[in-house]
Structure 1
């Protein structure tokens, strides 16, 4: 009887042990299955994100490879100059407006009278059509004149060349340039000659203006930007003073049988415009 009880007890213990092992194995298998499922989901999510990123990149690349439907607006000066060439064929024209600001509101008109063509450059409150009537009400910052087949008197009057002076007080503008100074009728005149051009700087002595500093700046501008080559004589005349709308700088030269003159409110603007002549 005791032996049977011992055997039975042993059998029970063995059964319980096997049951526990089976339970642990089942839990382990379930845990493993759950972890595997989670890893699979993570991989799936990662793959989805990668696909979305690739689609986004492809879309971006496709978009950037397409040409823009909005081309940049054509430069105002280039647009106006092209129209001037149609209206005034053969005339030398600046391709740069020389402005520090306001180029987007540049306006241009012209007139023709016999052998004389005149182009007016101005800056308005807004950009207007080429040669629009409204531009007549704007004060030009530059006026370019061409006289075709100019007579000798037209050349002389337009260029107004001043021969080199002597016997007058002098001043050095730089190491290579000496100018003369003279006074007359309440004005002081600084004058020198270089490369077939005469340079005259005029200032009011009554207003105690000195033309020397302006003369030095004009000399440097002529070296920096250069002047149009002239067939015979040329001239640069600058009046010291910057009143609104004034055209204090006048540059004239001869191109074959034609004579040109540019008047401008600002001397540097004038040099920049002439340096771009074509």
Structure 2
């Protein structure tokens, strides 16, 4: 069986501040060590349950070059670098049997939630068929589009609740209790890793009873962008229109895969600043 583990950084135990997640800041190296160690705990749990599994670990934070390759469990394949198809889910295909979200965070405007945002600080909200979705919802629905269950999520308690609303039968591990955007009560990293290893094994064992999250097309999608100039760029994309004032664009997608890819493109366009 193939298991894809998508690992973000903001939801790792002990991490509460941008200095721990930004490659240009002083505390980033500690964040990388913590992130790699939690990924290893989950890999170990998968192999505890399925010794013959094929495990892909997807570095899914920022530059997608955070996990320390030399310290990662050698049994896993590491996906790193960008740009790449499907972004945080690179490697997901019809042969993937289960997906896990590790170190994930709540969507923009959620709270209290540690380092909550949606894709980037330039995206204020994404609504698919009227439902607000952050990275958890967008990635879960993309997996579901390929009939792949998301069986495990770890992060703060708010992220876990967000995921449980989408997939009530999946396993969650709250490695910290959010006090705010940059504050939490966190488990000791070793305790978090032990819980993650057990949870990963449990999630693999239970995967047949966890349904893939589905959002059927066709779909109407709205994206709220931080700056009006981002809207000016977005409407250059065929099919994207300006609605509701100066910060919202909308488009129609045949299915969730099309919606997911276009949201990814809008996220990238939003990083282009006026000259």
- State the TM-score, normalizing by the size of structure 1: 0.22
Higher normalized contact order (CA 8 Å, seq sep 6+, divided by chain length): 2
- State the TM-score, normalizing by the size of structure 2: 0.22
